[in-house]
Amino acid sequence: MIGPPPGSTTQNLSPQSFDITQIRRDFPALSQMVNGKPLVYLDNAATTQKSTTVIEALSRYYSKDNANVHRGVHALSERATTAYEGSREKTREFLNASKSKEIIFVRGATEGINLVAQVMGQRLQPGDEIVISTMEHHSNIVPWQMLRDTRGVVLRVIPINDAGELILNEYDKLLNERTRLVSLVHLSNVIGTINPIREVIVRAHNRGIPVLIDGAQAVSHVKVDVQALDCDFYVFSSHKLFGPTGVGVLYGKESLLESLPPYQGGGEMISSVSFDRTVYNTLPYKFEAGTPNIAGVIGLGTAIDYVTKLGLEKIAAHKDNLMSYATESIGAIEGVRIIGTAEAKASVLSFIMDNVHPHDVGTILDQEGIAVRTGHHCGQPLMDRFGLVATVRASFAFYNTSEEVDRLVSALHRVREVFV
């Protein structure tokens, strides 16, 4: 059978007043043809598409306001600075941070994690411990391994169950007097698990241990309130929130950021320089050495505007409906096994097909105009946990539709016809 499973019907799954047709018009990349067929873009966990408003914001900066930010007295610099710092305030509101100075602009979530690892690492001693989990992205594994190799830090790993959920009792056993940081993914980019972040933070804080949260996948799926979570650090990437590539955010509690040394040296991060001594700048500039990605930061602010105007609750409702429909439809295909069945899960669907390599699945889907991701998704330890080398990953955004799920299901039936 081609299409949705028996008993299912394609339907408009969007909540009322969520105009999916207009939303899709706002994203020009979605209107193209791929291999002679309308594009179905289901690789949103890798990067999201950009709205016309974001593209126009980038163009406007480069065509009208192109100047370096801060310290300039001419009109272009003042306009650029206003837009740049305006994006910092928008980001603060988006995360519900207490102060704008707690928002540090970086190149992405990867650099945000590396920043914390490098500046905290200067104070770590051999035998100090860092706790992460089995489901971490490589960006939240390798920086800590580098500290292990250079500083003698010990890396502890929280195990997961067969559904892809943290085993919290085992997590408790890992926390001790040598634990210096817990660094944990909020939402798995591989299997979509939404971790119980607040509970993880409480258990760590009860022992006086700070917590860093990798929110690269989470910010486009769930409402993030860093004050309610009480996390010490939170990182995310603009390009996974419908903004430009090459820019991201590190949120840190003011007291912690004040206590840490700078990450890099150069312009902007200084207050004064002589050959005898340098006085570092105040937050947030102490961690923003050199000319920043001005256009990217402005584009991020525009993306936040778009998402906020659309409504986070409506976005969540639409994607929850879409994820339920996709899980049911794809799970009903003979020979398909979904990887990751956590009770709390967002719109990331990883699966394998009997007797078909994921790369072959992805190649045939591309012929049908469907973009998915195949491979280990920068989560090789997680793949090892499930005894796999790769999966097919379909990941959904608010501009995806149930009709696109049906096209994916039909194409997967074609894969079975070719290989089975």
CATH code: domain of residue 158 = 3.40.640.10
Residues 222 and 136 both lie in one domain = yes
Q: Is the pLDDT confidence value at 324 over 50? A: yes
1 band by pLDDT with thresholds 50, 70 and 90: very low
How distant is the alpha carbon of residue 125 from its chain centre? 30
Residues 24 and 85 both lie in one domain = no
End-to-end CA distance of the chain: 14
Q: Is the pLDDT confidence value at 87 over 60? A: yes
Residues 304 and 318 both lie in one domain = no
Q: How far apart are CA 325 and CA 320, in angstroms?
A: 9
How distant is the alpha carbon of residue 53 from its chain centre? 21
How distant is the alpha carbon of residue 231 from its chain centre? 16
At which of 309, 329, 360 does a domain end?
309
Residues 305 and 317 both lie in one domain = no
Residues 171 and 239 both lie in one domain = yes
Half-sphere exposure of 403 (CA within 13 A, CB side): 7
Per-residue model confidence as pLDDT tens digits over 111-142: 999 999 999 999 999 999 999 999 999 999 99
Helix or strand holding residue 21 (H, E): helix 20-25
Give a yes or no: residue 148 inside a domain. yes
Per-residue model confidence as pLDDT tens digits over 223-276: 999 999 999 999 999 999 999 999 999 999 999 999 999 999 999 999 999 999
Half-sphere exposure of 82 (CA within 13 A, CB side): 8
More confident of the two residues 229 and 17: 229
Residues 61 and 136 both lie in one domain = yes
374 band by pLDDT with thresholds 50, 70 and 90: very high
Mean pLDDT of 3-7: 35
Q: Extract the tokens encoding 38.
A: 């309308």
Number of domains in the chain: 2
Mean pLDDT of 367-377: 97
Residues 278 and 345 both lie in one domain = no
Mean pLDDT of 79-94: 97
5 band by pLDDT with thresholds 50, 70 and 90: very low
Residues 261 and 292 both lie in one domain = yes
pLDDT score for 27: 98
The region, left, alpha or beta by phi > 0 then psi within -120 to 50, assigned to residue 274 is: beta
419 band by pLDDT with thresholds 50, 70 and 90: confident
Q: How far apart are CA 273 and CA 132, in angstroms?
A: 39
175 band by pLDDT with thresholds 50, 70 and 90: very high
In the predicted model, what is the mean pLDDT of the chain?
Answer: 94
Give a yes or no: residue 13 inside a domain. no
pLDDT score for 3: 35
Residues 138 and 258 both lie in one domain = yes
Q: Is the pLDDT confidence value at 2 over 80? A: no
Q: How far is CA 217 from CA 189, 238, 252, 311, in A?
A: 6, 10, 18, 18
More confident of the two residues 11 and 70: 70
**What percentage of the chain carries pLDDT values higher than 90?**
93
Q: How far apart are CA 358 and CA 366, in angstroms?
A: 12
Angle, alpha carbons 87-89-91 (nearest 5°): 70
Give a yes or no: residue 281 inside a domain. yes
pLDDT score for 12: 46
Residues 398 and 297 both lie in one domain = no
CATH code: domain of residue 336 = 3.90.1150.10
Give a yes or no: residue 318 inside a domain. yes
At which of 286, 309, 332 does a domain end?
309
pLDDT score for 16: 52
Helix or strand holding residue 272 (H, E): strand 270-273
Residue numbers annotated as active site: 378
> Which stretches does DSSP call E strand in 146-214?
154-158, 179-185, 211-214
Asked, as a colleague might, if the bond just before 196 is cis with ω within 30 of 0, I would say no
The region, left, alpha or beta by phi > 0 then psi within -120 to 50, assigned to residue 85 is: alpha
72 band by pLDDT with thresholds 50, 70 and 90: confident
Q: Is the pLDDT confidence value at 6 over 60? A: no
Q: Which domain holds residue 104?
A: 54-309
Residues 102 and 232 both lie in one domain = yes
Q: Extract the tokens encoding 73.
A: 């007295």
pLDDT score for 17: 64
